[in-house]
Chain A
Amino acid sequence: MRRRVFLIAGIVLVALVVGIALVSLFWTPFPAADTTGGRLEGPGAHHLLGTDKLGRDLLTRLMIGARIAVAVGLGAVALGAVVGGVAGLLAGFANRWLDDTLAALLDILIAFPTLLLAMLVVAARGASLGSAIVAIGLAMSAIVARLTRVLVKRVLAMDYVTLARTSGVSWPRIVTAHVLPNIWPTMAVNLALQFGLAVLAEASLSYLGLGPPPPNASWGRLLQEAQSTVLTAPIGAIAPGVLLVVLVVGVNLLADGLRDVADPTRRGHR
C-alpha cells in the first residue's frame, strides 16, 4: 500500500515536470530572448515569478529549462542504457578473454573524467544540447555496462539458465525470457539514479559553457546565474532548485515503484 503511494507520487511529480516541458514547446509567457522586463523584478502580475538580472521572465526560463532537463535525462539514459546494456550483455556472455578485455576497457572508461569526455565531444560537435546528451550518455554507458555485466553473469550462473540450455532453448530466447526480466528490476532503479545524475551533470556542463547555448538555459545555468543575486532575489535560485529536486525525486520514486511491479518477489513486502 505504501509502495503504491510512492509510485503514484513519482508519477505525479514526473508528470508535472514533463507537462511543463511539453507546454513550453507551444507556449511560454514571453519569448525566450525577451529582455523587456525590469531587472530583478519580484513576482508580480506581469512576470508571475519575476525576472532575472537581464530582465528575462523567470517562468519562461524555468519552462524551457524543464524541456532541457527532460531531454537530457531521457536522451542520456536512453543512450547509456542502449550502449551500456549491449556492451554489458556482450561482456556477460563473452568468453574469458573477451570479457577480461571489455572489463578492463570499462574500468578505464569509468576512470575517465566525464568533464574531459564532454570537452572532447564539444570540440568535435560544438556546444549544444545534443553534445551534452552524447557526452553524459557515453560516460553513463560505461557505468551501465559494468552493472549489466555483473547482473548478467549472476543470472547466467543460475541453474534455470543451465536447464534452459539443456533443453535446447536458443540464446536469444534465454536473453529475452530469463536474463532481461531478471536484471531489469535492478537496472530500472539504477537508470533512474542515472537520470538524476545526468540532469545534475548537465547543470555543471552548462556552468562551464559546454551546455546548450543561450537563450535556452538549463536549470543548472539558472542556478549558477542566480548565485550572485541569491540574497536580493532568492526566488531565482529557489525555483530551479525546487524543480530539479522534484524531477530527480519523482524519477526515483517512479523507478522504485516500477521495480516492484516488475519483480513479483517484492510484491506485498515492506
Chain B
Amino acid sequence: MSLLTVSDLTVSTADGRTLVDGLSFSIAKGHRLGLIGESGSGKSLTALAVTGLLPPGLRASGTVLLDGTPVIGANERSLNRLRGRVAAVVFQEPSTALDPLMRLGNQVAEPLRRHQGLRGAALRAAVASALEEVALPARVAHAYPHEVSGGQRQRAAIAMALACRPALLIADEPTTALDVTVQAEVLALLDRLVAAHDMALLFVSHDLAVVGKVTDEVVVLSSGRAVRTGPLRAILADPQDDYTAALVASARRLDEALGGAL
C-alpha cells in the first residue's frame, strides 16, 4: 500500500480560480518523488494540501490519503495525529521556518518533547543527537537563528522535521534560499538521512538539476496541471512538450555551470 496517494487533487480560490488542477500521484513507503515546475505552477500549494495546511480562503477537493487516512475534509485533531509522525515538512525559507526569538535547541526540542514525551536530561541528550545527526555543532543549541548561517538554519529545520521520525518527508525547495555550495551540502545531508531512516520523500523544486540529485521519479507541473510524469532520465532524454523542454534546457545550463553530470 502506498504511503501517500493523491488523486484528482484540485485547489481553488473562493472566487473560483483553479490553482491546482486534477493532480494525481502516489508515493510508496521509502520511495521518492520530485515535484517540479516553474514559479507559480502550484508546487507549494500541492505540498500544503497534502498535509491539510492550505492558507485560509483556498479549498482542496479530490482525495489525499496519508497512510490510509483521508486528509481533505479531515478535522484538525486527526490531521495533527498525522503531521509530524507520518509526514513532516521542511520549508523553502529557513529564516521564516524558525522562530527568531527562540534558541535553536528549544525549537528542536519542541517536537521531541511532544511526540516522544522526553523531558530533562533525556530531552537534552535527544536534542544533542538530533543536532549531531544534521552535522551541527552542539553550541548551536544555544544560538538564536540570526546567529547562525542560512545553511545551519536549514539543517536545524531538517532536524526538527526528522524529530518524530516521519514516514514521509516533504521538502519544499529546501535549498533554494542557500548558496550553491551550501545547497549541495544540504542536499547530500537530506539524501543521506532519508536513506538512513528509510523515509519516503516528496521533493519540491523548480530546478531539475537539484531534483536530479535526490530522486529519479518526477511529476512536472505547469499552471497547476501535471504535464509529465515518469523517470527523470526519460524526461531528460525526451522532453516531449515545450514547457518540459525549457525546464530541461535551463537545468542543463545550470548544471554545466556547476560542472555537473545531467
Give A contacts to B, CB under 8 Å: 95-96, 158-160, 162-169, 177-178, 181-182, 262-265
The chain B residue sitting closest to A264, CB to CB, is: B144
Segment touching A, from B23-31, B85-93, B197-205: B85-93
A178 engages B53 (CB within 8 Å): no
Contacting pair B53 A162 (CB below 8 A) = yes
Cα A168 to Cα B107 in complex, Å, equals 14
Residues of A contacting B100 with CB < 8 Å? 182, 264-265
Cα–Cα distance between A95 and B56 once the two chains are bound (Å): 8
Q: Give CA–CA (A181, B101) in the complex, Å.
A: 7
Instruction: Say whether B164 contacts A167, CB under 8 Å.
Output: yes
Q: Does B119 contact A (CB under 8 A)?
A: no
Contact B89 A166 (CB under 8 A): yes
Which of A95, A159, A177, A182 lies in contact with B93, CB distance below 8 A? Answer: A159
In Å, the complex CA distance between A182 and B96 comes to 12
List residues of chain B with CB within 8 A of the CB of A158.
96, 99
CB atoms of A163 and B91 under 8 A apart: yes
CB distance from B127 to the nearest CB of A (A): 15
Expressed in whole angstroms, the Cα–Cα distance for A263 and B98 within the complex equals 15
B contact residues around A262 at 8 Å (CB) = 101
A-B contacts besides A159-B91, A262-B101, 17 pairs, CB < 8 Å: A95-B56, A162-B53, A163-B89, A163-B160, A165-B80, A167-B114, A167-B115, A167-B160, A169-B110, A169-B114, A177-B110, A178-B99, A182-B100, A264-B100, A264-B146, A265-B101, A265-B146
Residues of B within 8 A of A159 (CB): 91, 93, 96-97
Bound-state CA distance A96–B56 (Å) is 9
Across the interface, A165 reaches (CB within 8 A) one of B83, B96, B160, namely B83
Task: Look across to chain A and name the residue whose beta carbon is closest to the beta carbon of B163.
Answer: A167
Which of chain A's residues have a CB closer than 8 A to the CB of B147? 264
**In whole angstroms, what is the CA distance A231 to B97 when docked?**
62
B84 within 8 A of A: yes
Some 30 contacts from A to B, beta carbons below 8 A apart, are A96-B56, A159-B93, A159-B96, A160-B96, A160-B98, A160-B107, A162-B53, A162-B91, A163-B89, A166-B83, A167-B83, A167-B84, A167-B110, A167-B114, A167-B163, A168-B83, A168-B114, A168-B115, A169-B110, A178-B99, A178-B102, A181-B101, A181-B102, A182-B100, A182-B101, A263-B101, A264-B101, A264-B147, A265-B100, A265-B146
